[in-house]
Structure 1
Amino acid sequence: MFEDNPTVKSTFEKFRTLDCNQELWENSVLMTHGLGVMSAIDEIISNLDDEDTVYELILEQGRSHVRFGDDLTSDIFWAIEKPFLAAVKQMFGSRYTPKLETLYTVTIHYIISLLTHGFSSKMEEQPRDVFFTS
């Protein structure tokens, strides 16, 4: 993800100073974050039969990212698309079919779209510092 989109790396305060891919792969904070992301996606996929729950889970995940500050934009969520789909393809191996590719592509697009919506709507609610000059 960081190789394809270096601006993503700079968004993460704890990862931006790591110089090489080896340092990233060995970083326990990054590993924990990645496991958390995959766990959240797993929970969403496991609950796809409960549309209301999934909708709220995803929106809340997006809203919760506002706490990371103004440097974060909703575009950051799209950086997970390619690595997620690559992980799914690797997981299925020879059982990976065009139907599975379509299924997981549509699913991750749905998830990311709602994440960005939740994030953007929460950002709009946040008070901004306004300076008035006379």
Structure 2
Amino acid sequence: MECHIRPATSRDVAAISCVVLATLRQSNSHDYPPDVVAQVEKSFYPEAIITPLTSRRVYEALLGDNIISTAGLDRDVVRSVFVDPAHQKGGIGRHLMEVIHTTAASARVGAVHVPSSITAERFYTALGYQKIRDEFYWAERTIVMENRL
């Protein structure tokens, strides 16, 4: 079964939250200590996800009726790219990023930036992103990367 990508809606916040929290707990926990994961989780509970849905373009990938991935675009910044751990390394994240890049290019954005986790740095590098700098939010290391479209 092929995945389908569509814009996210407010009805999807609980499912999106589940995908993000599962990814943080299962994938990102290999690169970040529990206290950092717990801090980041606070930004991805359903009540925290609703605001970004109104201020940026948020997409989700579905397999059947199940949301398995999400990503957002806020002008020239890619935000909150998460793929359910059970579906990682299957091309879903790449497909979702193609939609993000097409959306950015249609808006005449020349380059997109992403605040990458340590966990996702290789994924973005494989998509053509280059590291610009490291940033630290509390104890969370984020790698700011850029991709010229």
TM-score, length-scaled by structure 2: 0.29
Q: When you count strand as a share of all residues, which structure comes out higher?
A: 2
Which structure has the bigger radius of gyration? 1
TM-score by length of 1: 0.31
> Which gives a bigger RCO, structure 1 or 2 (Cα 8 Å, sep 6+)?
1
Decide which structure has greater helix share. 1
